[in-house]
Structure formats: structure tokens, C-alpha cells
């Protein structure tokens, strides 16, 4: 959701603002989620969306895909899914007398991995190389993925039956981890009206899909958004507080935030500023994205968890204790 006081100035920003409005029109009460999806898109970051079934997680990604002139694939995760179901496999062609590699659904510009925590760990691990390196290796041969390439995964809460917790290395590959909650009564009433309107063919006109060139140009523009030395120091102080920089916080943490968290938070702040029509990032951008950029990279001690602490609660404490200079 764009800041009213920061009207997009460049044609690229205007096109992304139109995409945001189009996606938001198909969702109710999910403007922050839409904005974070666009943050991932213009930074090349991947996103994990968590919430109970029925909260429009999959719908949000499909609406985003509809606004992009890029290939899209949806992978429905199940406990019997195999890594080759994602990456592809080599198939023997009798007529040629040789093996031919058949690409899997991971070879698309935007990939929705639905209910990722219902897939076994070996399938989750198959995503590591794709998300981290933009390539996959099958039978000793490496294949490059499209550019731009973005993975958006959804998951149900870990305590639900039939799920596998994502390994720490997998979680660290996601730039942002957003948690969606059930809508309130007013939003739910609006959802009912929206679905009824769509059922009778009342969908709004969509803007011209963004091309690959538009996305790559936006990424270049985002990289040039100014982050002041003081703001960089603020980001570093937030992250290093989990490693002993703050005694109270570090006592709650078993494994602190990695440097990838610092990079993700800085890149996200740049992207958020650009989407809101600014060429500089602010402490408010950092504070807004910090819970989604850092909490999934924190592992708390067993005592902290037993006392009811949560990673997001720890990040909230960080934001209260550590102020921007």
C-alpha cells in the first residue's frame, strides 16, 4: 500500500503501483502482504507466507502472477513428493539413444510452493540450491533458472498435523516470512461480496502485465535507493543484538540472526522506500520489515520457549530497546 504522501514519480514506480492496486482489489485486508510480495519481487528475494488454511495465501500469489508477463508454476506439496518432481529428471529417449533432461516446475519465473511444510525434508532441501544459487543440479549437470526468479512458499502453522518443520538453512533462504491472520467481521463481509461479484463475472480490468524488463529495471532502481550510514548502523545494531550485543536479548537466543538477515533487511528497506515513491530509506522502513526479515532466522533457547517467548516477540523487544540514531 503506497504512502499517500509519496506519489510514485517514475514510470516504473507507477506501473508497480498499478499492479499493487490490481492485486489488492482481489484481496480484502491484505495490503501489507501485497506490499511485501512486491518487496520480494523487486529485490529478487523469496517469501514464506504462513497462516491457517483459507486465508487467501495461494490466491495472493496467483493474483501477483496474473499481473506479470512471466511464466508461473504451482507446486502442491504432499508427503510423497520427490525432489525430481520439482527439479525435473533425465528421461531416456530410445529414438535418440540418449538421455534428455526434462525440466520440472522449478524452471519458471514465479514459483508457488504451496504448503511447503507438508513436503518431506528431502524435497525442502531440493529448493536450497534453486533459491540460493538460481540453479539446480541433476545427475551431475547444472542448469540455470530464469532471471528474474522468485519462490513464494505457503505453510500451515507447524503445530498442525501432517507437517514437517522447515530446517534452519531453508528458512534462512527466505527474505521475508509473513504471518497472515483471520480477517475481522467487516473484512469477512467484504470478502463475501467480492466472491459473489466474481461468481457473476464482475472482475475488474487488470493493468498491462509487467514484463521481465520492467522487473529487472525496478531491481536496478531499488539497488540505487540511498541507505545512509546511520541507517546501516541501525540495521547492524538490531541484528548483532541477537549475538550478544544486548545481554537480555541474547540470553533468550540459541542461534542468532545470520548476516543474511542484515542483507535482507537492508534490501527490503530500499525496496519499500522505492515502492512508496522515495529514493531513500528511513528507520520506519526498517522497523516495518524487521519482524518479517529477522524472526524466522532466530532460534530461541528451550527455556525462553517454555516461558512463552516467541521470535517475533523478541524482535519487537529489539525494536523497542534499540533506537535509530
Quote the domain boundaries for residue 274: 226-321
Which pLDDT band, with edges at 50, 70 and 90, does 245 fall under? confident
* Same domain assignment for residues 185 and 130: yes
- Poorest-pLDDT segment among 88-97, 178-187, 231-240: 88-97
- Residue 202 inside a domain? The answer is no
- Residue 205 inside a domain? The answer is no
Q: How far is Cα 93 from Cα 285, in angstroms, rounded to an integer? A: 53
* Same domain assignment for residues 48 and 131: yes
Q: In this structure, how many other beta carbons lie within 10 angstroms of the beta carbon of residue 317?
A: 16
* Same domain assignment for residues 61 and 170: yes
* Same domain assignment for residues 176 and 237: no
3-class SS at 243?
Answer: helix
Q: How far is Cα 148 from Cα 110, in angstroms, rounded to an integer? A: 8
Domain boundary among 153, 179, 196: 196
- Closest C-alpha among 46, 22, 79 to residue 209: 22
Give the mean model confidence (pLDDT) for residues 226-230.
96
* Same domain assignment for residues 190 and 239: no
Average pLDDT over all residues of the chain:
90
What per-residue confidence (pLDDT) applies to 311?
A: 94
Count: domains in the chain: 2
Q: How far is Cα 175 from Cα 295, in angstroms, rounded to an integer? A: 11
Domain boundary among 196, 215, 248: 196
- Residue 214 inside a domain? The answer is no
- Residue 250 inside a domain? The answer is yes
For residue range 1-22, list pLDDT tens digits in order. Answer: 455 445 557 888 999 999 999 9
What per-residue confidence (pLDDT) applies to 4?
A: 46
What per-residue confidence (pLDDT) applies to 200?
A: 83
Which residues 6+ apart lie within 8 Å of 162 measured at CB? 79, 118
- Residue 203 inside a domain? The answer is no
- Residue 257 inside a domain? The answer is yes
Q: How far is Cα 120 from Cα 123, in angstroms, rounded to an integer? A: 6
Instruction: Convert 183-205 into a string of H (helix), E (strand) and C (coil).
Output: CCHHHHHHHHHHHHHHHCCCCCC
Domain boundary among 175, 196, 217: 196
* Same domain assignment for residues 139 and 265: no
Give the mean model confidence (pLDDT) for residues 225-251.
92
CATH code of the domain containing 102: 3.40.50.300
* Same domain assignment for residues 62 and 151: yes
Provide the phi-psi class of 321: left if phi over 0, else alpha when psi is between -120 and 50, else beta.
alpha
CATH code of the domain containing 290: 1.10.8.80
DSSP 166: P
Cross-strand partners of 68: 210
* Same domain assignment for residues 178 and 254: no
Q: How far is Cα 76 from Cα 21, in angstroms, rounded to an integer? A: 27
Q: How far is Cα 269 from Cα 284, in angstroms, rounded to an integer? A: 9
* Same domain assignment for residues 261 and 180: no
* Same domain assignment for residues 26 and 135: yes
- Residue 220 inside a domain? The answer is no
What per-residue confidence (pLDDT) applies to 197?
A: 86
Judge if pTM exceeds 0.75. yes
- Closest C-alpha among 55, 40, 48 to residue 116: 48
Which pLDDT band, with edges at 50, 70 and 90, does 167 fall under? confident
For residue range 275-303, list pLDDT tens digits in order. Answer: 999 999 999 999 999 999 999 999 999 99
* Same domain assignment for residues 98 and 182: yes
- Residue 211 inside a domain? The answer is no
What per-residue confidence (pLDDT) applies to 158?
A: 66
For residue range 46-60, list pLDDT tens digits in order. Answer: 999 999 888 999 999
C-alpha cell at 291: 519482524
* Same domain assignment for residues 231 and 191: no
What per-residue confidence (pLDDT) applies to 122?
A: 84
Amino acid at each position: 500500500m503506497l504512502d499517500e504522501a509519496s506519489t510514485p514519480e517514475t514510470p516504473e514506480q507507477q506501473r508497480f503501483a498499478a499492479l499493487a492496486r490490481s492485486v489488492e482489489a482481489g484481496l480484502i485486508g491484505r495490503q501489507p502482504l501485497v506490499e511485501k510480495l512486491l518487496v520480494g519481487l523487486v529485490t529478487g528475494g523469496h517469501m514464506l507466507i504462513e497462516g491457517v488454511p483459507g486465508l487467501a495465501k495461494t490466491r495472493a500469489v496467483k493474483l501477483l502472477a496474473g499481473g506479470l508477463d512471466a511464466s508461473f508454476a504451482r507446486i502442491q506439496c504432499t508427503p510423497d513428493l520427490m525432489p525430481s518432481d520439482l527439479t525435473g529428471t533425465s528421461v531416456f529417449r530410445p529414438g535418440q539413444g540418449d538421455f534428455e533432461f526434462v525440466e520440472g516446475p522449478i524452471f519458471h519465473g514465479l514459483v508457488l510452493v504451496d504448503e511447503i511444510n507438508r513436503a518431506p525434508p528431502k524435497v525442502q532441501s531440493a529448493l536450497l540450491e534453486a533459491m540460493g544459487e538460481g540453479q539446480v543440479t541433476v545427475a551431475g549437470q547444472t542448469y540455470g533458472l530464469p532471471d528474474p526468479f522468485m519462490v513464494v512458499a505457503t505453510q500451515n502453522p507447524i503445530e498442525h498435523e501432517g507437517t514437517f518443520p522447515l530446517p534452519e538453512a531453508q528458512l534462512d533462504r527466505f527474505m521475508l516470512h509473513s504471518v497472515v491472520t483471520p480477517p475481522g467481521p467487516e473484512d469477512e463481509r467484504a470478502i463475501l461480496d467480492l466472491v459473489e461479484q466474481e461468481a457473476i463475472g464482475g472482475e475488474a480490468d487488470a493493468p498491462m502485465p509487467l514484463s521481465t524488463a520492467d522487473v529487472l529495471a525496478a531491481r536496478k532502481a531499488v539497488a540505487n535507493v540511498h541507505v545512509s550510514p546511520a541507517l546501516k548502523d541501525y540495521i547492524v545494531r538490531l541484528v548483532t543484538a541477537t549475538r550478544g550485543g544486548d545481554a537480555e536479548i541474547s540470553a533468550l537466543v540459541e542461534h542468532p540472526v545470520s548476516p543474511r538477515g542484515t542483507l535482507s533487511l537492508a534490501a527490503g528497506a530500499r525496496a519499500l522506500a522505492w515502492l512508496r515513491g522515495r529514493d531513500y530509506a528511513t528507520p520506519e522502513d526498517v522497523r516495518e520489515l524487521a519482524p518479517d526479515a529477522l524472526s524466522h532466522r532466530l532460534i530461541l533457547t528451550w527455556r525462553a520457549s517454555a516461558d512463552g517467548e516467541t521470535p517475533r516477540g523478541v524482535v519487537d523487544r529489539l525494536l523497542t530497546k534499540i533506537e535509530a540514531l
